[in-house]
Chains A and B, each alone.
Chain A
Amino acid sequence: MTGSAALVTVLAVPLAGAAAALLVGRRGAAVVGLLTSALGVVAAFALAAHVFAGGLQRVAVGGWAVPLGMELRADGLATAMLLMTAVIGAGISVYAWRYFGADDHHDRHVHPVGPSGSGSTQWLFWPVWLLAWGALNALYLSGDLFNLYVTLELLGLAAVALVALAGAGAAAAALRYLLFALLGSMLYILGVELLYAAHQTLDLLQLRERLQPGVSVWLAAALMSTGLLVKTAIFPLHVWLPPAHGSAPAPVSAALSALVVKAGFYLLARLWLDLFGSLPGASVAPLLLGALGAGAVLWGGVQALRQTRLKAMIAYSTVAQLGYLMIALPLAGRVTDGAMHAAVLLAASHAAAKASMFMCAGSLLAAYGHDRIDALTGFGTRLPITATAFALAAISLVGLPPTGGFVGKFALVEAAVRADAWWAVAVVLLGSLLAAAFLFHALSRAFVEAPADTASARVARAPQLVALALALLAVALVAAGEPLRHLLAAGAAN
């Protein structure tokens, strides 16, 4: 299998899977979904192998050269994101299989939202989730600004539809999410058209060569960045995220928090490290983004501390964690820099840990019938697997050894110190203190003896084991530093 073939497979598998899942309907959708996930993982690793060995992989769609046609490229960064999506996504699929498969199987073990009245269409999770996966892959690989707009829309609508799975109660959250996403893409496309009008190309690399500083370029940069900030839920444009992620079904929350929000960050990094990085004085913008990131870390942390419900707390922790990624931008000059290395490590560890944590929240919700943190007493003895997963995920999110979160945080702080960006150092350390505060508080519930009367439902093992596997992945990423660095270096776009 050649590199380009692998690239095409990575794109085609989830989309084809989505079509198949929709075609076969309720009975077979889950099976198709799991099969697709497996293939997706294989394809992603195949492509990664090619990038690792052969560097940047490119495919000209329709055989047309840019600027008329569009080019799909797999560089180190894109490949890393693809791998992350594939592995975490597969885990989410397995969890969802036991979760939404519930009305086929005898035990409907984990159902946080209760009978939502739309039970009969829960299976639609599969085509929508696979389309979201396909959109993510397409987004990572796209080298064309307008194509990126289409992938963003595909991703956004898929995410909204997934939130809607939680039933009428989540309609408001989904609607807010959609309105924000629409606004974001409108601003983005406005910027794109300005760039096109001024440079007659939509291709990122070509654009970078032709880029002429000017008011229209700066305006375009501002508009596109704002649009992406909205979609990434970067403070202070984060308001849509906690309700949406907090009210969605567990596997959906996992997918949104772990993967979907990362897409916006990825594009911001592409824009400011690849495209606009060459502009004179362009270093100001990343600083601004970094400042927003700092705000996100602190605000998200404080809000998470104030939450009394587990899922809300986890959602705010996502707001904070996205801040770390933003902070990396001003510290990184290029996609291959140490800070970016740190950011990708953090992104991957957060993806694994956060997915696991939302899954744990789902299991706890099923066991206790609520997710009020203070009333989750004794879940350590009641759900030992979930408790272990939660603990490991928490350690990684706080950034304590031996986890991927720790290595990422260490690398980020190192990059900050090397850049003499002491503000960043302070924010990162403060952020991890906040994270420790609210996560350990939740964790300590596990050790409290539960009052005898607290009734709890039986919770199936399989979903808990998935959560544990992802948490262990977050731990295992402690060893990912070196391979990741090689990957980023090998696939450097230029």
Chain B
Amino acid sequence: MTAEVQVFDAVLAVLLLWLGWRALASADLFKAVVQFIVFGLLLSLTWVRLGAPDVALAEAAIGAGLAGALLLDTLARMGPSGAADEARPLALTPARVGIALAVIGLAVLLVASVLALPARWPGLVEPALQQLSASGVSNPVTATLLNYRAWDTLLEIGVLMLAVLGVWILDAEPALPRPAPDPMLGLLLRVLLPLTVIVAGYLLWVGAHAPGGAFQGGALLAAGGVLWHLARPLSLGPSRAVRAVVVFGFAVFLAVGVAAALLGGGLLTFPPEHAGAIILVIEAAAMLSIALIMVALFVGRQRPATDPQAADTTGTQDTGAAP
């Protein structure tokens, strides 16, 4: 996969750097975030060019989509006082010269070491592909995520879970005053939601042998959830139902892994003949949790802006995802 560079790539790379810099340096943070989102979309194009479609999907859905939504939402919530920043936020003041020099030094060293690397090297291609038959899936990335290095992925879901726990620990936020949900959005919802569910399910299923999988599917479901929230504001606090869904994927994954160990296989060791099914089960469970967690990260614990008293009781008031 080392096609020679085409004009397209050169342009893409330049565009990427320019957008990246704009995303960092624009005085207006709203602009910056929008450019960051566009940057993320271009980045996923890059992934495609580099032969990493799985990463591309994840980047578009999570790196650009979810992260962008979160950033915009935060800016909106903080209002003008929070969104304000200096006119030239990254200007090279004397105090920053040291930083700049250090960064440049690092870049030079990085270039040197990249150039020092061999032009071609084996990597783990051979073993990864040889073992593919025993991994239960035919998409090597999925095989790596859920079999070769499943321990990473289990902990990774733990990280996601922690993020939402952290958000819950913080005080509930006042809900943003939203315009009355217009019928258009409702209609859109009625069309889009089923679609997202179907596509997510497809991504999950296809992940076994083609780009896709729990994270991409989950992210897509989450997008649907966020749309729902925009139409009919939710509050996802640590209510019993929400907790159950949040912990579901992690628990199933861990349980399966430990069960494998108890049955004599060893930690997260799946017998090849059942590996496919096991992975599908884990991914399905994980996708649900990932989706809800991502929505919860966006929605968080909210209290009606009208009722200031509710702060202390939100935790108990929350009634799960259903509005």
Could you list which residues of chain A lie within 8 angstroms of chain B, going by C-beta atoms? 4-5, 8, 11-12, 15-16, 18-19, 22-23, 25-26, 59-64, 67-70, 72, 116-121, 124, 127-128, 131, 134-135, 138, 146-147, 150-151, 153-154, 157-158, 160-161, 164-165, 167-168, 171, 190, 194, 197-198, 200, 214-216, 219-220
Q: At the interface, is chain B mostly helix, strand, loop or mixed?
A: helix
Chosen A-B contacts, 15 in total, with CB atoms closer than 8 Å, are: A8-B261, A8-B267, A15-B254, A19-B250, A62-B148, A67-B127, A117-B311, A128-B169, A131-B162, A157-B166, A161-B166, A165-B169, A167-B171, A194-B113, A216-B112
A68 touches B266 (CB 8 A): no
State A62–B250 Cα separation when bound (angstroms). 17
**CB within 8 Å of A: which B230-249 residues:** 238, 240, 243-244, 246-247
Which of B113, B155, B257 meets A138, CB within 8 Å?
B155
- Please name the 9 residue pairs, one residue from A and one from B, whose CB atoms are nearest each other, closest first: A216-B113, A120-B315, A161-B166, A63-B269, A68-B127, A157-B162, A61-B151, A19-B251, A150-B155
B172 to A: closest C-beta gap in Å: 8
Which of B128, B163, B243, B314 meets A25, CB within 8 Å?
B243
Given A15-B254, A62-B266, A164-B170, also A121-B238 (CB < 8 A): yes
Which of B123, B258, B268 meets A62, CB within 8 Å?
B268
A23 touches B163 (CB 8 A): no
B169 touches A127 (CB 8 A): no
B279 to A: closest C-beta gap in Å: 11
CB of B110 within 8 Å of the partner chain: yes
Q: At the interface, is chain A mostly helix, strand, loop or mixed?
A: helix
A153 touches B149 (CB 8 A): no
B110 touches A219 (CB 8 A): yes
Given A8-B267, A68-B148, A161-B169, also A120-B313 (CB < 8 A): yes
A23 touches B165 (CB 8 A): no
A78 to B: closest C-beta gap in Å: 16
Given A124-B168, A131-B161, A164-B166, also A62-B147 (CB < 8 A): yes
A124 touches B266 (CB 8 A): no
State A153–B168 Cα separation when bound (angstroms). 19
Which of B117, B238, B247 meets A198, CB within 8 Å?
B117
Given A12-B254, A68-B127, A161-B165, also A215-B149 (CB < 8 A): no
A168 touches B171 (CB 8 A): yes
Which of A117, A157, A214 meets B159, CB within 8 Å?
A157
A314 to B: closest C-beta gap in Å: 23
B162 touches A154 (CB 8 A): yes
Query: What residue in chain B is nearest A178 (Cβ atoms)?
Result: B166
CB of B183 within 8 Å of the partner chain: no
CB of B124 within 8 Å of the partner chain: yes
Q: Which residues of chain B have C-beta atoms less than 8 A from A11's C-beta?
A: 267
A345 to B: closest C-beta gap in Å: 30
State A460–B162 Cα separation when bound (angstroms). 31
Query: What residue in chain B is nearest A161 (Cβ atoms)?
Result: B166
CB of B298 within 8 Å of the partner chain: no
State A124–B254 Cα separation when bound (angstroms). 20
State A171–B169 Cα separation when bound (angstroms). 11
B168 touches A5 (CB 8 A): no
B215 to A: closest C-beta gap in Å: 14
Given A69-B148, A120-B314, also A22-B165 (CB < 8 A): yes
CB of B131 within 8 Å of the partner chain: yes
Given contacts A164-B169, A200-B123, 13 further A-B contacts (CB under 8 A): A8-B261, A22-B246, A61-B266, A63-B265, A68-B131, A118-B170, A131-B158, A131-B165, A135-B155, A135-B158, A150-B159, A157-B166, A168-B170
State A135–B240 Cα separation when bound (angstroms). 25
Which of A59, A151, A158, A198 meets B266, CB within 8 Å?
A59
State A351–B123 Cα separation when bound (angstroms). 41
State A219–B265 Cα separation when bound (angstroms). 39
B116 touches A214 (CB 8 A): yes
B301 to A: closest C-beta gap in Å: 8
Q: Which residues of chain B have C-beta atoms less than 8 A from A215's C-beta?
A: 109, 112-113, 116
B258 touches A124 (CB 8 A): no
B52 to A: closest C-beta gap in Å: 14
Query: What residue in chain A is nearest B314 (Cβ atoms)?
Result: A120
A121 touches B315 (CB 8 A): yes
A124 touches B148 (CB 8 A): no
State A151–B171 Cα separation when bound (angstroms). 27
Q: Which residues of chain A have C-beta atoms less than 8 A from B240's C-beta?
A: 25
B151 touches A161 (CB 8 A): no
CB of B270 within 8 Å of the partner chain: yes
A120 touches B312 (CB 8 A): yes
CB of B121 within 8 Å of the partner chain: yes
A120 touches B316 (CB 8 A): yes
B315 touches A59 (CB 8 A): no
State A371–B113 Cα separation when bound (angstroms). 51
CB of B288 within 8 Å of the partner chain: no
Which of B109, B117, B266 meets A63, CB within 8 Å?
B266
A62 touches B127 (CB 8 A): no
Interface string of B107-130 (1 = CB under 8 A from A): 001101110110001111001100
CB of B73 within 8 Å of the partner chain: no
Q: Which residues of chain A have C-beta atoms less than 8 A from B85's C-beta?
A: none
Q: Which residues of chain A have C-beta atoms less than 8 A from B117's C-beta?
A: 197-198, 216
CB of B55 within 8 Å of the partner chain: no
A150 touches B162 (CB 8 A): no
A62 touches B270 (CB 8 A): yes
Given A22-B246, A63-B266, A154-B159, also A147-B169 (CB < 8 A): no
A117 touches B251 (CB 8 A): no
CB of B273 within 8 Å of the partner chain: no
Q: Which residues of chain B have C-beta atoms less than 8 A from A120's C-beta?
A: 312-316
Q: Which residues of chain A have C-beta atoms less than 8 A from B258's C-beta?
A: 8, 12, 16
Given A131-B161, A200-B123, A215-B112, also A146-B247 (CB < 8 A): no
State A5–B269 Cα separation when bound (angstroms). 13
Q: Which one of A134, A151, A165, A216 has the greatest number of beta carbons of chain B within 10 Å?
A: A216
CB of B9 within 8 Å of the partner chain: no
Given A154-B158, A161-B166, also A23-B247 (CB < 8 A): yes
State A233–B128 Cα separation when bound (angstroms). 38
A21 to B: closest C-beta gap in Å: 9
A61 touches B268 (CB 8 A): yes
Q: Which residues of chain B have C-beta atoms less than 8 A from A12's C-beta?
A: 254, 257-258, 261
CB of B280 within 8 Å of the partner chain: no
B124 touches A67 (CB 8 A): yes
Given A19-B254, A118-B170, also A70-B311 (CB < 8 A): no
Q: Which residues of chain B have C-beta atoms less than 8 A from A150's C-beta?
A: 152, 155-156, 159
State A280–B282 Cα separation when bound (angstroms). 46
State A223–B119 Cα separation when bound (angstroms). 23
A132 to B: closest C-beta gap in Å: 9
B109 touches A62 (CB 8 A): no
State A59–B247 Cα separation when bound (angstroms). 26
A158 touches B162 (CB 8 A): yes
State A89–B270 Cα separation when bound (angstroms). 33
A44 to B: closest C-beta gap in Å: 17
A130 to B: closest C-beta gap in Å: 11
A134 touches B158 (CB 8 A): yes
CB of B150 within 8 Å of the partner chain: yes
A69 to B: closest C-beta gap in Å: 6
Q: Which residues of chain B have C-beta atoms less than 8 A from A70's C-beta?
A: 149, 151-152
